[in-house]
Amino acid sequence: MYSKTRIYPFTEDFYHKAIIKDSYEGRLFKLRNAIDHADYVVIGAGARLSAAAGIAYGGKRFTDSFTDFIARYGLTDMYSSAFYPFQTEKERWAYWARHILMNRLDMPATNSYRRLFSIISEKDYFVITTNVDGQFEKSGFDKERIFAVQGDYAYLQCADRCHEKLYYNENLVRKMVRQTTDCRIPSGLVPHCPVCGGKMDVHVRKDHYFVQDNQWYASYERYQDYMEKVCDGNALLLELGVGYNTPTIIRFLFERLAAQRKNITLVRINKDYPDAQNRMTNWVSFDENIGSILSDIGT
Protein backbone atom coordinates (compact mmCIF):
# COMPACT_ATOMS: atom_id res chain seq x y z
CA MET A 1 0.00 0.00 0.00
CA TYR A 2 2.88 2.36 0.52
CA SER A 3 4.27 1.72 -2.92
CA LYS A 4 4.88 4.90 -4.88
CA THR A 5 3.50 3.23 -7.97
CA ARG A 6 0.00 4.35 -8.70
CA ILE A 7 -2.33 2.56 -10.99
CA TYR A 8 -4.47 4.61 -13.34
CA PRO A 9 -6.81 2.12 -14.94
CA PHE A 10 -8.81 4.73 -16.82
CA THR A 11 -7.93 7.71 -18.92
CA GLU A 12 -8.64 11.16 -17.58
CA ASP A 13 -11.50 11.62 -20.05
CA PHE A 14 -13.26 8.65 -18.58
CA TYR A 15 -13.69 10.31 -15.23
CA HIS A 16 -16.91 12.03 -14.43
CA LYS A 17 -16.06 15.69 -14.18
CA ALA A 18 -19.37 17.17 -13.13
CA ILE A 19 -18.55 17.23 -9.49
CA ILE A 20 -17.42 20.31 -7.69
CA LYS A 21 -20.18 22.55 -8.98
CA ASP A 22 -21.55 23.64 -5.64
CA SER A 23 -19.86 26.17 -3.43
CA TYR A 24 -17.82 24.88 -0.52
CA GLU A 25 -20.58 25.97 1.87
CA GLY A 26 -23.17 24.21 -0.25
CA ARG A 27 -21.24 20.96 -0.22
CA LEU A 28 -20.55 21.26 3.49
CA PHE A 29 -24.27 21.65 4.07
CA LYS A 30 -24.91 18.47 2.06
CA LEU A 31 -22.27 16.63 4.06
CA ARG A 32 -23.76 17.73 7.40
CA ASN A 33 -27.18 16.79 6.14
CA ALA A 34 -25.97 13.37 5.00
CA ILE A 35 -24.42 12.73 8.42
CA ASP A 36 -27.59 13.85 10.24
CA HIS A 37 -29.87 11.66 8.16
CA ALA A 38 -27.72 8.56 7.86
CA ASP A 39 -28.79 5.40 9.66
CA TYR A 40 -25.35 4.01 8.91
CA VAL A 41 -22.01 5.67 8.28
CA VAL A 42 -19.15 3.77 6.68
CA ILE A 43 -15.83 5.58 6.89
CA GLY A 44 -13.35 4.53 4.22
CA ALA A 45 -9.90 5.93 4.89
CA GLY A 46 -6.67 5.95 2.93
CA ALA A 47 -3.10 7.17 3.23
CA ARG A 48 -3.91 10.80 2.50
CA LEU A 49 -6.03 11.06 5.64
CA SER A 50 -3.04 10.24 7.81
CA ALA A 51 -0.76 12.46 5.73
CA ALA A 52 -3.21 15.34 6.08
CA ALA A 53 -3.48 14.60 9.79
CA GLY A 54 0.25 15.29 10.14
CA ILE A 55 1.75 11.83 9.74
CA ALA A 56 3.78 12.94 6.74
CA TYR A 57 6.20 10.41 5.27
CA GLY A 58 8.44 12.97 3.65
CA GLY A 59 9.78 16.46 4.27
CA LYS A 60 11.20 17.71 7.53
CA ARG A 61 9.46 15.08 9.63
CA PHE A 62 11.50 12.48 7.73
CA THR A 63 14.79 14.33 7.32
CA ASP A 64 14.95 15.34 10.99
CA SER A 65 14.46 11.79 12.23
CA PHE A 66 16.46 9.78 9.70
CA THR A 67 19.57 11.90 9.18
CA ASP A 68 21.87 8.92 9.70
CA PHE A 69 19.92 6.66 7.30
CA ILE A 70 19.70 9.40 4.68
CA ALA A 71 23.47 9.95 4.81
CA ARG A 72 24.25 6.25 4.56
CA TYR A 73 21.60 4.90 2.17
CA GLY A 74 20.33 7.99 0.37
CA LEU A 75 16.77 7.41 1.57
CA THR A 76 14.32 10.04 0.37
CA ASP A 77 11.10 9.46 2.30
CA MET A 78 9.34 6.84 4.41
CA TYR A 79 7.29 5.45 1.52
CA SER A 80 10.24 4.36 -0.57
CA SER A 81 12.37 3.49 2.47
CA ALA A 82 9.91 0.74 3.29
CA PHE A 83 11.09 -0.97 0.09
CA TYR A 84 14.79 -0.28 0.46
CA PRO A 85 16.83 -3.49 0.04
CA PHE A 86 18.82 -3.36 3.29
CA GLN A 87 21.67 -5.85 3.09
CA THR A 88 21.35 -7.18 6.62
CA GLU A 89 18.52 -7.82 9.06
CA LYS A 90 20.33 -5.67 11.60
CA GLU A 91 20.05 -2.67 9.27
CA ARG A 92 16.51 -3.48 8.10
CA TRP A 93 15.19 -3.66 11.64
CA ALA A 94 17.06 -0.55 12.73
CA TYR A 95 15.16 1.31 10.01
CA TRP A 96 11.81 -0.32 10.67
CA ALA A 97 11.94 0.05 14.43
CA ARG A 98 12.32 3.80 14.10
CA HIS A 99 9.62 3.93 11.43
CA ILE A 100 7.17 1.97 13.60
CA LEU A 101 7.95 3.95 16.73
CA MET A 102 7.47 7.27 14.99
CA ASN A 103 4.39 6.53 12.95
CA ARG A 104 2.56 4.12 15.20
CA LEU A 105 3.71 3.56 18.78
CA ASP A 106 4.77 7.08 19.75
CA MET A 107 2.34 8.91 17.46
CA PRO A 108 -0.53 10.25 19.54
CA ALA A 109 -4.07 10.51 18.19
CA THR A 110 -4.01 13.39 15.74
CA ASN A 111 -6.49 16.27 15.73
CA SER A 112 -8.03 15.23 12.41
CA TYR A 113 -8.83 11.71 13.55
CA ARG A 114 -10.10 12.94 16.91
CA ARG A 115 -12.33 15.45 15.15
CA LEU A 116 -13.62 12.75 12.84
CA PHE A 117 -14.48 10.67 15.88
CA SER A 118 -16.33 13.51 17.59
CA ILE A 119 -18.40 14.04 14.42
CA ILE A 120 -19.28 10.36 13.94
CA SER A 121 -19.19 8.86 17.44
CA GLU A 122 -22.95 9.19 18.06
CA LYS A 123 -23.79 7.50 14.76
CA ASP A 124 -23.99 3.83 13.90
CA TYR A 125 -20.64 3.59 12.13
CA PHE A 126 -18.03 1.22 10.76
CA VAL A 127 -14.49 1.98 9.58
CA ILE A 128 -12.59 0.32 6.78
CA THR A 129 -9.05 1.58 6.35
CA THR A 130 -5.91 0.74 4.43
CA ASN A 131 -3.91 2.72 6.99
CA VAL A 132 -1.71 0.74 9.34
CA ASP A 133 -0.95 3.42 11.92
CA GLY A 134 -3.66 2.65 14.50
CA GLN A 135 -5.03 6.20 14.44
CA PHE A 136 -8.69 5.19 14.49
CA GLU A 137 -8.33 3.16 17.65
CA LYS A 138 -6.19 5.81 19.33
CA SER A 139 -8.79 8.45 18.55
CA GLY A 140 -11.59 6.62 20.30
CA PHE A 141 -13.17 4.56 17.53
CA ASP A 142 -14.44 1.20 18.74
CA LYS A 143 -11.95 -1.53 17.90
CA GLU A 144 -14.84 -3.85 17.01
CA ARG A 145 -15.94 -1.39 14.36
CA ILE A 146 -12.61 -1.04 12.57
CA PHE A 147 -11.39 -3.23 9.74
CA ALA A 148 -7.71 -2.47 9.10
CA VAL A 149 -7.42 -4.45 5.88
CA GLN A 150 -3.74 -3.94 5.25
CA GLY A 151 -2.34 -4.68 8.70
CA ASP A 152 -0.89 -2.82 11.64
CA TYR A 153 2.65 -1.57 12.24
CA ALA A 154 2.42 -2.65 15.86
CA TYR A 155 2.64 -6.36 14.95
CA LEU A 156 5.18 -8.70 13.48
CA GLN A 157 4.54 -11.87 11.51
CA CYS A 158 6.56 -14.69 10.00
CA ALA A 159 7.96 -13.42 6.70
CA ASP A 160 7.20 -16.80 5.10
CA ARG A 161 3.72 -16.93 6.60
CA CYS A 162 4.48 -20.36 8.02
CA HIS A 163 1.74 -19.79 10.59
CA GLU A 164 -1.10 -17.29 10.88
CA LYS A 165 -0.17 -15.51 14.08
CA LEU A 166 0.75 -11.94 14.92
CA TYR A 167 3.14 -10.68 17.57
CA TYR A 168 2.76 -7.32 19.30
CA ASN A 169 6.09 -5.59 18.84
CA GLU A 170 6.16 -2.58 21.19
CA ASN A 171 8.77 -3.75 23.72
CA LEU A 172 11.02 -5.14 21.04
CA VAL A 173 10.74 -2.05 18.85
CA ARG A 174 11.56 0.27 21.74
CA LYS A 175 14.62 -1.83 22.57
CA MET A 176 15.72 -1.82 18.93
CA VAL A 177 15.47 1.95 18.71
CA ARG A 178 17.35 2.46 22.00
CA GLN A 179 20.11 0.11 20.93
CA THR A 180 20.55 1.31 17.33
CA THR A 181 24.08 2.43 16.56
CA ASP A 182 25.53 3.13 13.16
CA CYS A 183 22.15 2.30 11.52
CA ARG A 184 22.17 -1.21 13.02
CA ILE A 185 20.56 -3.03 15.90
CA PRO A 186 22.56 -5.66 17.86
CA SER A 187 22.20 -9.13 16.30
CA GLY A 188 20.60 -10.42 19.51
CA LEU A 189 17.55 -8.22 18.85
CA VAL A 190 16.92 -9.43 15.27
CA PRO A 191 13.54 -11.19 15.43
CA HIS A 192 13.14 -14.79 14.26
CA CYS A 193 9.97 -16.73 13.63
CA PRO A 194 9.24 -18.81 16.76
CA VAL A 195 7.92 -21.63 14.55
CA CYS A 196 10.23 -21.94 11.50
CA GLY A 197 13.15 -19.86 12.78
CA GLY A 198 13.10 -17.74 9.61
CA LYS A 199 12.81 -14.00 9.12
CA MET A 200 10.03 -11.88 10.53
CA ASP A 201 8.24 -9.00 8.84
CA VAL A 202 6.14 -6.05 9.82
CA HIS A 203 2.45 -6.88 9.55
CA VAL A 204 1.77 -4.74 6.48
CA ARG A 205 0.38 -6.21 3.28
CA LYS A 206 2.83 -6.19 0.41
CA ASP A 207 2.27 -9.64 -1.10
CA HIS A 208 0.58 -12.98 -0.51
CA TYR A 209 2.72 -13.62 2.56
CA PHE A 210 0.54 -11.21 4.51
CA VAL A 211 -0.88 -12.98 7.58
CA GLN A 212 -4.63 -12.89 8.13
CA ASP A 213 -5.18 -14.22 11.64
CA ASN A 214 -8.48 -15.02 13.37
CA GLN A 215 -8.89 -11.43 14.46
CA TRP A 216 -8.40 -10.19 10.90
CA TYR A 217 -11.09 -12.57 9.65
CA ALA A 218 -13.42 -11.60 12.49
CA SER A 219 -13.08 -7.92 11.53
CA TYR A 220 -13.61 -8.82 7.90
CA GLU A 221 -16.83 -10.64 8.76
CA ARG A 222 -18.10 -7.77 10.90
CA TYR A 223 -17.38 -5.43 8.00
CA GLN A 224 -19.22 -7.64 5.52
CA ASP A 225 -22.22 -7.93 7.85
CA TYR A 226 -22.26 -4.18 8.24
CA MET A 227 -22.13 -3.58 4.49
CA GLU A 228 -25.15 -5.86 4.08
CA LYS A 229 -27.09 -3.73 6.57
CA VAL A 230 -25.92 -0.58 4.82
CA CYS A 231 -27.49 -1.67 1.57
CA ASP A 232 -30.91 -1.81 3.23
CA GLY A 233 -30.80 1.51 5.03
CA ASN A 234 -30.09 5.16 4.56
CA ALA A 235 -26.32 5.17 4.44
CA LEU A 236 -23.43 7.56 4.11
CA LEU A 237 -20.15 6.34 2.68
CA LEU A 238 -17.59 8.85 3.88
CA GLU A 239 -14.37 8.38 1.96
CA LEU A 240 -11.29 10.25 3.13
CA GLY A 241 -7.97 10.41 1.33
CA VAL A 242 -8.30 7.21 -0.68
CA GLY A 243 -6.14 7.29 -3.80
CA TYR A 244 -5.07 4.78 -6.38
CA ASN A 245 -2.60 2.54 -4.55
CA THR A 246 -5.28 -0.03 -3.72
CA PRO A 247 -8.46 1.52 -5.18
CA THR A 248 -10.52 -1.67 -5.29
CA ILE A 249 -10.69 -2.04 -1.51
CA ILE A 250 -12.58 1.17 -0.78
CA ARG A 251 -12.77 3.67 -3.61
CA PHE A 252 -14.21 1.57 -6.43
CA LEU A 253 -16.51 -0.34 -4.08
CA PHE A 254 -17.97 2.85 -2.57
CA GLU A 255 -18.58 4.29 -6.03
CA ARG A 256 -20.24 1.15 -7.26
CA LEU A 257 -22.58 1.05 -4.28
CA ALA A 258 -23.48 4.72 -4.62
CA ALA A 259 -24.06 4.30 -8.35
CA GLN A 260 -26.35 1.32 -7.81
CA ARG A 261 -28.38 2.43 -4.80
CA LYS A 262 -30.29 5.61 -4.25
CA ASN A 263 -30.35 5.12 -0.47
CA ILE A 264 -26.56 5.45 -0.34
CA THR A 265 -24.75 8.79 -0.44
CA LEU A 266 -21.06 8.95 -1.18
CA VAL A 267 -18.98 11.82 0.13
CA ARG A 268 -15.47 11.83 -1.24
CA ILE A 269 -12.83 14.01 0.35
CA ASN A 270 -9.72 13.92 -1.78
CA LYS A 271 -7.53 16.83 -2.69
CA ASP A 272 -5.70 14.97 -5.45
CA TYR A 273 -8.40 12.69 -6.87
CA PRO A 274 -11.83 14.20 -6.25
CA ASP A 275 -13.35 12.77 -9.45
CA ALA A 276 -15.28 9.59 -10.04
CA GLN A 277 -15.56 7.08 -12.83
CA ASN A 278 -19.21 6.27 -12.28
CA ARG A 279 -22.08 8.59 -13.00
CA MET A 280 -23.80 9.30 -9.71
CA THR A 281 -26.28 11.88 -8.55
CA ASN A 282 -26.14 11.02 -4.85
CA TRP A 283 -22.61 12.12 -4.13
CA VAL A 284 -20.59 15.09 -3.03
CA SER A 285 -16.91 15.64 -3.60
CA PHE A 286 -14.37 17.87 -1.91
CA ASP A 287 -10.93 18.81 -3.15
CA GLU A 288 -10.26 20.99 -0.14
CA ASN A 289 -7.98 20.20 2.77
CA ILE A 290 -9.29 17.31 4.91
CA GLY A 291 -8.36 18.97 8.20
CA SER A 292 -10.23 22.17 7.33
CA ILE A 293 -13.33 20.26 6.23
CA LEU A 294 -13.38 18.25 9.46
CA SER A 295 -13.08 21.49 11.47
CA ASP A 296 -15.79 23.18 9.43
CA ILE A 297 -18.29 20.32 9.79
CA GLY A 298 -18.26 20.82 13.53
CA THR A 299 -18.86 24.58 13.38
Residue 164 or residue 272: which is nearer to Zn ion going by CB? 164
Which is nearer to Zn ion, 199 or 256 (by Cβ)? 199
The least distance separating Zn ion from the CB of residue 199, rounded to whole angstroms, comes to 8
Least Å distance, CB 210 to Zn ion, is 14
CB of 157 to Zn ion, least distance (A): 9
Could you give the strand order of the β-sheet that contains 235-240, starting from the edge strand earlier in sequence? 146-148, 125-129, 40-45, 235-240, 264-269, 283-286
Name which of 192, 172, 206, 193 is nearest 97 in CA terms. Answer: 172
Phi, psi (5° rounding) for residue 54? Answer: 115, -5
In this structure, the dihedral spanned by the alpha carbons of residues 135, 294, 290 and 285, taken in order and rounded to 10 degrees, is: 120
Size of the site for Zn ion (CB under 5 A): 6
DSSP character at residue 189 = G
User: Which one of 18, 71, 196, 218 is in contact with Zn ion (CB under 5 A)?
Assistant: 196
Nearer to Zn ion (CB atom), residue 202 or residue 240: 202
Residue among 193, 211, 242, 267 that touches Zn ion (CB under 5 A) = 193
Give 158 or 185: the residue with its C-beta nearer to Zn ion: 158
C-alpha 150/C-alpha 152 separation (Å) is 7
C-beta of 212: minimal distance to Zn ion in Å? 15
Q: Under the criterion CB under 5 A, does residue 276 sit at the interface with Zn ion?
A: no
Residue 161 beta carbon to Zn ion: minimum distance, rounded to whole angstroms: 7
Return the number of other C-beta atoms located less than 10 Å from residue 37's C-beta: 11
Distances (CA, A) of 214 to 25, 64, 243: 44, 38, 28
Distance between CA 192 and CA 213 in Å, rounded?
A: 19
* Summary count for the chain: helices (H), strands (E): 12, 9
172 vs 249, which CB is nearer to Zn ion?
172
For Zn ion, which stretch binds (CB under 5 A), given 44-52, 127-135, 185-193, 267-275?
Answer: 185-193
> Closer to Zn ion at the Cβ: 70 or 159?
159
Tell me which residues in 141-180 interact with Zn ion (CB under 5 A): 158, 162
- DSSP line for 195-211: TT--BEEEEE-SSTT--
Among 195, 218, 221, 233, binds Zn ion (CB under 5 A): 195
Beta carbon nearer to Zn ion, 34 or 158: 158
Q: Exposed, middle or buried, 23 (CB in 10 Å: 0-12/13-18/19+)?
A: exposed
Q: Which residues bind Zn ion (CB under 5 A)?
A: 158, 162, 193, 195-196, 198
